[in-house]
Each structure stands twice: as C-alpha cells, then as structure tokens.
Amino acid sequence: MARKTGSRAEITGPLIRRAALSLFSRHGYAAVSMRRIAAEVGVQAGTLYLYTSDKQSLLFELMRNHMEELLTAWSREPKGEEPPARLAAFVRFHIRFHLERPEAVFLAYMELRSLVPENFARIEALRQRYEDALADILRAGIAAGRFQIADLRLATMSIIAMLTGVNTWYRDGGRLSREEVGEIYVEMVARLVGPDRGAAPDLGVLGER
Amino acid sequence: MARKTGSRAEITGPLIRRAALSLFSRHGYAAVSMRRIAAEVGVQAGTLYLYTSDKQSLLFELMRNHMEELLTAWSREPKGEEPPARLAAFVRFHIRFHLERPEAVFLAYMELRSLVPENFARIEALRQRYEDALADILRAGIAAGRFQIADLRLATMSIIAMLTGVNTWYRDGGRLSREEVGEIYVEMVARLVGPDRGAAPDLGVLGER
DNA sequence: GTCTATAATTAGATAGAC
DNA sequence: GTCTATCTAATTATAGAC
C-alpha cells in the first residue's frame, strides 16, 4: 500500500455521482446542497470539487450519461426486421431500460429546467435522437402499409409518454411483473398504430361531438 | 380614499399566488426564494407573510387549488351517456383543461416531492379521484361490451400519461390547433380501448418475441 | 398594509494544512 | 486525496416603525 490512508480516488468519484443521482432525483437539484452530497459519500464538501468543477456540471454529466446509455443500449438491442416487430422491440426495450434506472429517468425528465441553456440544448438533442428512433419505425410502418397513423408526431409523442409513464406507478412485487407489463403495453401500442380492420363503427361514435 | 397609500390587500394576495405559480413552475420550488416572489409582485419579502404562513403553504395552496379546479371542471363537463362518448369527452376535456393552464399542470406534476408528507397525501388523494373518473368510464365500457381492455389500471395510466404528455410539446400557433390535437387523441384513445375487430393478425406479429 | 432592519442559518466555492 | 477553515452571498422568517 503505497497509497495514503483515505486516498480512494477510484471509488470516490463514482460514489459522488451515485449519491448526487439519488439525492437530486429524490429531492430535486436545487434542494440538495453540495454539503449533503458530501455527507452521503462520507467526505467533506470541498472534496467534491476534486471530481466536478461545480454543481451544474455534476447534474449535466449525470443527465448526459443517462441519455447516452439510452441511445447506446437501443442501438445494440435486437430489433427484428418488419416495422411491427421493431415497434414491439422498442416498447419492450423502453419499459425494461427505464424501469431498471428509475432515478436517472426521473432526473432526466424533471431537471431539464435546472440546466443552463447550453447544457439544456445538448441534452435536448440527445432526447430528440431517441424520439426520432421511434418516429423512424412508425414512418417505415406507414410506408409499408402496416400501420395506420393519423399524425406521425402525435403518435410518437403519445407512445413515448405512455411508456415513460410506467415509471410513475410501477413497483416491483406488485400485481404484474415487468415482462407482463411490457406485453400489455405492446398490445396497447399495437392497437394505437392500427391498422384499422373494417369500417370501425365504434370509432364513429367516439368521433361525435 | 380612507385607505393608506400602498394598501391593496385585495389584489396583493392574488398577485402573490400568480407570481409564485409562475416562478415555481419555471424554476422549481426550491430554486425560487421568497425575495424573488416579492420582487416580482413589487413588495418586500416580509409582506408575503401577511398572505401565507410559509413557503410550503404557498406551494400546497397552489397545487390544491389546481386539483380542485380540475375535479370541479370535470364534474360540470357535459359527458354524454354511452361509455365511448364519455371517453371522448374525457379526452377532449383533459387536453383542453390542461393546455389552458400549463404552469399549474407543470407544478402539480413536478413539485409533488417538495410537499411535506401530510400535504403530499392530500394532493395525492385528489389526483386519485381524477384517475378514478377515467377508470370508471373504462369499466363501464368493458361491462357494456364496448371496450376491450387487457388491464384496466394500465389502460387508465396509459391514457392519462399520453394526454398529459401533450403539455410537454404543444405550442400555440403550431401546425395543429388545440381542437385538432384533441380529435386526433380521441381517435388514438378509441383504438387503444378496442374493441378488436376481427382476428387481429397484426397484433399476433407484434406479440411475437 | 407595507417597509426597514435584522436574526439565524445555510449556500457554493476556495485556500492551505497534512 | 482529504480535511479544516473560511469567504461571500443568499436563505427563511420575524420584529417593530410608520
């Protein structure tokens, strides 16, 4: 042990990021002080500044890391060929990925407003790439005559919103497993993108004012 | 004018609530100081305490007021008789009501974690009542054979999530009017709740692993 | 009803000892 | 690499003048 007692740079950095993620997601970025993060890790407040230039950078790195992991994971996900299979893969992937890291998901959605404009733009660009991945699937399905979608953008936003919404209510040990939830959402999303089968008289009733 | 110059209690209270709503929703509860709210209104910080006991109460009153307005407005909304018509009314109502007050909606969704436990429970109970209103419609539709829903709770959460999601992207003056967006969502929600028409071979493809 | 002044605490960030 | 000490500024909330 050539190293001094208490010198553990290799693990302190990750510990700080983990503590910040947990505290920021539970209490909000503005409500958490650097002292509180330090206390959670077991170091003094000043020590944090060896690992991050300031509080804003700490938040930004957490959010960027999450978004890049999301994009990388989706790029590596087995997807199938046909649009319906790709859409089902997206639904299953989104729910699984998001349920595996609820704190990072919560942070990425709730603390966009805490980013300075430059950092906001960078996170927003990553979010847009993920949205585009879904839109591309829907567009391909429309072109192939497999989906019937009145408005591509609204369908894209609807699907992402309903999938991400799972994080707000799902609890492990509840009535349904993650996989069961995934399959039910696959079916609901499939209905959402059609195609219509038949004259759809019931939609007619719904369409009335 | 029996009143002293600068004495305008009847309007200062509402001004404080309006400024707090705007600032809290834009920057977050923890990030906004009482001084900043006071500055926005044009009074000194101490004056705020004539109208609210503390910062927490100010937040809670804003959120409670929003949730009660939501429930009252829905109770007064013309709904029609049959489940499909009631569901369409819910969709149109939800989008219209939420787009009309984006700041209050944002606050009610983002600052739940800033409430002390007692206040959180009270807001949560109101939110639950609204969720139940939708679940009741879906349940009635299932019972009447008008909807086909694999899981009532998941369908309820999905619909609310996709409808509320409109607030995150809709901007006035964009490609679609609020009413056009509402109609497209009516159709998407109608598809989501079925009923299935035919053997649904495409859903079968989606169901494959 | 509003202001000024202030108490008591806490914030983000840095300097320098070890 | 971490800690102690500290700077400067800002925080919530209150007391008392007008």
**CATH class of this structure's domain B1-53:** mainly alpha
Of B84, B162, B207, the CB nearest to A186: B207
Question: Is B94 buried (19+), middle (13-18) or exposed (0-12) by CB count in 10 A?
Answer: buried
3-state class (DSSP) for residue B113: helix
Size of interface A-B (CB pairs under 8 A): 148
The tokens of A185 are what?
A: 């959402």
pTM of the model: 0.91
Give first-to-last CA distance, chain A, whole Å. Answer: 77
Q: Does residue B113 sit at the A interface (CB-CB below 8 Å)?
A: yes
Domain range list for chain B:
1-53, 59-206
> What is the CATH code for B59-206?
1.10.357.10
Asked if residues A196 and A148 have their Cβ atoms less than 8 Å apart, the reply is: yes
Q: Read off the pLDDT of residues B41-80 as tens digits, 9 standing for 90 and up.
A: 999 999 999 999 999 999 999 999 999 999 999 999 999 9
d(CA B176, CA B33): 37
Region of residue B205 (left: phi > 0; alpha: psi -120 to 50; beta: else): alpha
CA distance A69 to chain B (A): 23
Residue by residue, pLDDT tens for chain A (209 residues) are: 333 445 666 789 999 999 999 999 999 999 999 999 999 999 999 999 999 999 999 999 999 999 999 999 999 999 999 999 999 999 999 999 999 999 999 999 999 999 999 999 999 999 999 999 999 999 999 999 999 999 999 999 999 999 999 999 999 999 999 999 999 999 999 999 988 554 333 433 443 44
Judged by CB atoms closer than 8 Å, whether chains meet at B30 and A31 is answered as yes
Strand D neighbours (CB under 7 Å) are: A 4, 6-9, 12, 42-47, 50; B 32-36, 45-46, 49, 54-56
Question: Is A192 buried (19+), middle (13-18) or exposed (0-12) by CB count in 10 A?
Answer: buried
- CA-based Rg of chain B, rounded to a whole angstrom? 21
Band (B9; pLDDT cuts 50, 70, 90) = low
Could you tell me which chain B residue has the CA closest to the CA of A90? B206
d(CA B138, CA B128): 15
Asked if residues B105 and B127 have their Cβ atoms less than 8 Å apart, the reply is: no
